[in-house]
Amino acid sequence: MKVLLLQDVYNLGQAGEVKTVADGYGRNYLLPRGMAILATPAAVRRAERIKQAAVERRAREKSDIEALAQVIGGMRLTFTARAGEKGKLYGSITSAQIADAISRKLGAEFDKRKIALREPIREVGAYSIPVRLNAETAPVVTVIVQQESAAVVAEQPDSAAEPTGQETVTSDESAAPAG
């Protein structure tokens, strides 16, 4: 199926391009979401106008995204969660929890789908998580998962002050294993 992209689609193309996609992908995903239209001769004639509008929109959005990338790129998020003796969490840290922490830091909503977390974090440790703001920009957020007892030691008054870009979040979904 040939479609004309109306907006930039990650891993497919940019607005105004004519692409050949699988029938199901076009019919069930691109067309219903308004991301593309069928590439009819009339639609192909509109392609140049769509490309020009997309170039102008990308130029406007680029400065906003770069500023956001500067803020997000330096973030360190610390989560505390209950964990077993070997560092396995009783729950997990998900992309939704990371997005919520970023939202609190930014003071604005942040979409959890932009967090490129392949699977939930299930162990104590430090993780570098890319945040996909657009096709070209993906700053990295450092996520530190600590065991609850380790977090108490870190909060002692004799310990060094935390960096200003760090936020501590307690995992609400961590619970004792069912059994």
> Is the domain of 55 the same as that of 137?
no
> Is the domain of 48 the same as that of 84?
no
140-147 vs 76-81, strand pairing mode: parallel
> Is the domain of 35 the same as that of 115?
no
> Is the domain of 111 the same as that of 163?
yes
In a domain, 66, yes or no: no
pLDDT at residue 153 is higher than 80 = no
In a domain, 176, yes or no: no
> Is the domain of 78 the same as that of 166?
yes
pLDDT for position 178? 40
Q: Which residue has the higher pLDDT, 118 or 163?
A: 118
Amino acid, single-letter form, for residue 85 = E
pLDDT tens-digit readout, 14-35: 888 899 999 999 999 999 999 9
pLDDT at residue 163 is higher than 90 = no
In a domain, 178, yes or no: no
Domain region containing 20: 2-61
What angle (nearest 5°) sits at the alpha carbon of residue 97, between those of residues 91 and 98? 120
pLDDT tens-digit readout, 61-116: 888 888 888 888 888 999 999 998 888 989 899 999 999 999 998 888 888 888 98
Q: Please, how many CA atoms are within 13 Å of residue 68, restricted to the half-sphere of its CB?
A: 19
> Is the domain of 15 the same as that of 93?
no
**Count of domains forming the chain:** 2
> Is the domain of 12 the same as that of 49?
yes
pLDDT for position 78? 92
CATH code, domain carrying 146: 3.10.430.100
In a domain, 31, yes or no: yes
pLDDT tens-digit readout, 123-151: 999 999 999 888 788 899 999 999 886 54
> Is the domain of 24 the same as that of 108?
no
